[in-house]
């Protein structure tokens, strides 16, 4: 009888949970911890429970204007479907007249990019640990039927114990209708976009590029230092950085899950060498180097990597048809570089960097609000142009509602309530 009574209470609690709408004013802002081209992330505390979360908000108007509805939906879907310890946990999504919201777990260790900026180079042992965890995370995403397409240090977060979780699935695809930008173009009766996700390079002229003009090797230390200084700014920008993108994606060719493994190789290179393999002063240069990776992928002589480390990087950053991992993550796990690694117990191992936190709201591993303020101009202008929530007299234009039907999601967990 007691079991039935508890089940009944749980069911009533669940139904009440589903009926209770979420609103931005259910949360108190503690601090701004992230800002992008048309959205921001705040550390918040739920008023009802006092629990701490990360709340991501995106401007609907800019989501539509920048043709980002498919990206937003893809991210929402993969986070809603995932229950993996290697993927940041999504608790709920909701919306109002002007904004889309995603309430996620707060990971106080910052991101891998911050660690790389601080330490510049990792040892092979530390690199092995992080790459093993990233492999597990990418494999978890692939098991759900998604390709991440944007694996980079900025999107690898660290929890309070120093273990990684993947985030930012805005470029991910599960090859679904709702993840196709053209679907939203048709929905809003706008002209369709070309199919490729990246602008294809004209193959008739691709091989005629003057190699001498590309500056294939990175020998200029000033250039490297400038690249390091601009990493955080690039992470905030709408364009982002192409440093970790596979060549088949750059050229608009057919691609598979293996593009994420190319990105793994690029990150591993940066961990061991101190800069990305194709770092350049501008994105155009980086794209050219990626297209001509056979010439531009070079290992500086003053960095003595072990044979297994260099071999793994070269096995990941190669032609798609020969790329390690093309038939599954187990291929990569079996590489000699990971000899002795127990992939099943990674999260039980003490991480090489454990964040020193003074409280559950410590944001020492995140950019300062001054750094974030420097990126605020575009977002604040868009926010000012948006009509205040609730000022629509009950009417919302179709372009603000149709693309976001079905966006709302709730995960029923005690630690969210």
* DSSP code for 338: G
CA of residue 40 relative to chain centroid, distance: 14
Task: Say if residue 189 carries a ligand binding annotation.
Answer: no
Q: Catalytic residue, from 77, 150, 159, 260: name it.
A: 150
Find, among 243, 232, 79, 244, the residue nearest to 151 by Cα: 244
Task: Give exposure, 47-75, as e/b (b: 16+ Cβ within 10 Å).
Answer: eeeebbbbbbbbbbbbbbeeebbbbbbbb
Question: What are the residues facing 101 on neighbouring strands?
Answer: 57, 94
Active site annotation includes 202: no
Residue with tokens 């202008």: 381
Strands 39-46 and 52-59: antiparallel
Residue with tokens 């980086």: 286
Backbone angles phi, psi at 94, to 5 degrees: -155, 175
Q: What helix, strand, coil percent values describe the chain, rounded to 5?
A: 45, 10, 45
Task: Give exposure, 3-32, as e/b (b: 16+ Cβ within 10 Å).
Answer: eeeeeeeeeeeeeeeeeeebebebbeebeb
For residue 249, give both structure tokens: 């994606």
Cα(44)–Cα(50) distance, integer angstroms:
9
The residues annotated with a catalytic role in the active site are 150
Q: Which parts are annotated binding residues for ATP?
A: 56
Q: Which parts are annotated binding residues?
A: 56
């Amino acid at each position: 009888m007691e079991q039935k009574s508890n089940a009944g209470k749980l069911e009533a609690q669940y139904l009440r949970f589903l009926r209770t709408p979420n609103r931005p004013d259910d949360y108190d802002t503690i601090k701004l911890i992230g800002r992008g081209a048309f959205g921001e992330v705040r550390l918040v505390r739920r008023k009802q429970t006092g629990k701490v979360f990360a709340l991501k908000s995106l401007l609907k108007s800019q989501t539509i204007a920048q043709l980002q509805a498919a990206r937003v939906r893809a991210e929402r879907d993969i986070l809603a479907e995932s229950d993996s310890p290697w993927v940041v946990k999504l608790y709920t999504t909701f919306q109002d007249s002007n904004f889309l919201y995603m309430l996620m777990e707060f990971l106080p260790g910052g991101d891998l990019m911050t660690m790389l900026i601080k330490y510049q180079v990792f040892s092979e042992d530390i690199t092995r640990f992080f790459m093993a965890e990233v492999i597990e995370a990418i494999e978890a995403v692939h098991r759900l039927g998604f390709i991440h397409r944007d694996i980079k240090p900025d999107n690898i977060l660290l929890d309070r114990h120093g273990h990684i979780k993947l985030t930012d699935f805005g470029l991910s695809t599960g090859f679904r209708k709702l993840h196709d930008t053209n679907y939203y173009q048709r929905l809003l009766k706008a002209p369709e976009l070309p199919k490729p996700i990246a602008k294809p390079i004209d193959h008739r002229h691709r091989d005629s590029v003057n190699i001498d003009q590309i500056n294939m090797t990175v020998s200029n230390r000033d250039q490297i230092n400038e690249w390091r200084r601009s990493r955080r700014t690039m992470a905030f920008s709408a364009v982002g950085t192409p440093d970790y993108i596979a060549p088949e994606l750059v050229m608009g060719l057919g691609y598979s899950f293996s593009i994420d493994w190319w990105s793994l190789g690029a990150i591993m290179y940066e961990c061991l060498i101190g800069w990305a393999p194709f770092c350049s002063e501008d994105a155009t240069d980086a794209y050219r180097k990626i297209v001509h990776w056979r010439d531009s992928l070079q290992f500086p002589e003053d960095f003595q990597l072990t044979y297994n480390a260099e071999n793994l990087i070269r096995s990941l950053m190669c032609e798609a048809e020969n790329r390690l991992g093309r038939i599954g993550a187990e291929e990569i796990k079996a590489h000699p570089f990971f000899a002795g690694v127990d992939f099943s117990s990674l999260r039980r191992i003490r991480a090489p960097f454990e964040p020193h936190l003074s409280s559950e709201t410590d944001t020492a591993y995140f950019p300062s609000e001054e750094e974030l303020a420097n990126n605020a101009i575009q977002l604040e202008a868009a926010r000012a142009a948006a009509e205040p929530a609730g000022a629509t007299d009950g009417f919302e234009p179709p372009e603000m509602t149709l693309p976001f039907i079905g966006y709302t999601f709730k995960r029923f967990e005690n630690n969210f309530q």
